[in-house]
Amino acid sequence: MATKVSIGTVLAGLLIGLAVSAYAHTGSGYLTGPLVFLGVVLSALGSIGAVISILIGKRGHLVWGVGGFSLAVLLALVVLPLFWPYPRPHGPVPLSEESTPTK
């Protein structure tokens, strides 16, 4: 049972990481960049927290699940762009004509 739960959390993390990465490929870097950065930071913190918990002797299913989930999201957000790079942003675009300065 514990192995199925661990595999399920890793697959869920991989799926969420791939979904965030795919969304980042379709949108503007100015809009999707913070989401990718947040995903990398939170998954790194989850991985570090799980490793620290394992090192101090807490080896419960929850710790392994959080560690597997976080590591899978982190790998999906870091490794996938090596093979499928994010598009370059075109630059900031004004929201409306009134916000552009007049000459």
Q: What is the pLDDT of residues 21-47, one digit of tens each?
A: 888 888 777 788 888 899 999 999 999
What is the reported pLDDT for 81? 87
**Whether the Cβ atoms of residue 32 and residue 93 lie closer than 8 Å to each other:** no
- Choose between 5 and 49: higher pLDDT: 49
Q: Residues near 54 by Cβ (< 8 Å), separated by ≥ 6?
A: 63, 64, 67
Question: Does residue 92 carry a pLDDT above 80?
Answer: no
Question: Percent of the chain, pLDDT > 70?
Answer: 88
Q: What is the mean pLDDT of the chain?
A: 84
